[in-house]
A and B are shown apart, each in its own frame.
Chain A
Amino acid sequence: DADVTQTPRNRITKTGKRIMLECSQTKGHDRMYWYRQDPGLGLRLIYYSFDVKDINKGEISDGYSVSRQAQAKFSLSLESAIPNQTALYFCATSGLGQRSGGEGANVLTFGAGSRLTVL
């Protein structure tokens, strides 16, 4: 099984519908992230969480919300989807940050991506 699992992998929906993208991880990481990828724009951070009680907005949080249900689970919701939210969404995890000095510090492990199309 993958270390970081995203569901669904593909979803087509209509404008105005509520959509939830789910992410679960088996890496035991505290930190989880949602990024969005659009052609020519790279990856942009939507929300991130450093532990279960911590939620932070990223660069492009408008129109999105998140829930950190457990250390291993981080969900992204679109309350009322619109066509310009059509994109590839990635969940990622990381271990302790720079302070830990660990070899894997700040290295993101990504899920396989969820392709969302809003008609």
Chain B
Amino acid sequence: AQKVTQAQTEISVVEKEDVTLDCVYETRDTTYYLFWYKQPPSGELVFLIRRNSFDEQNEISGRYSWNFQKSTSSFNFTITASQVVDSAVYFCALSEAGYSTLTFGKGTMLLVSP
């Protein structure tokens, strides 16, 4: 069975601080996808990134970066120089090869104060 753990329930930072959101996953498949979604206070779910299990290259997109490490089954998300608009709940998710149902973690609420 697949499982996603986001151990940090809530994180509070001050604007311009860097923050890392942790995600640890469990799967028996050797081929799988990992995702991050953002849910701002308005409630919609916004896709941020998808990573294939066979591609361990880290990715950077503006202030966002993702660190995928198979050895520790982790897919962590870092926001550099956080802004108030980054305040949201962030979900990590996993889908196994051949399926498109996603298993989500419980989410991490990030609060960025001015």
- What residues make up the interface of A, taking CB atoms closer than 8 Å to B? 31, 33, 35, 40-45, 48, 50, 58, 88, 90, 92, 94, 97-99, 105-110, 112-113
Given that A43-B91, A112-B43 are known contacts, is A106 also in contact with B104, CB under 8 Å in the complex? no
- CB pair B50–A107 under 8 Å, yes or no, is yes
CB of B101 within 8 A of CB of A110, answer no
A112:B102 contact, CB within 8 angstroms: no
Beyond A43-B91, A98-B98, 15 additional pairs, beta carbon < 8 A: A40-B9, A40-B106, A42-B104, A43-B102, A45-B103, A48-B101, A92-B45, A97-B100, A98-B97, A98-B100, A106-B100, A107-B50, A108-B45, A108-B100, A113-B44
B-to-A contact residues, CB < 8 Å: 6, 9, 31, 33, 35, 43-45, 47, 50, 91, 95, 97-107
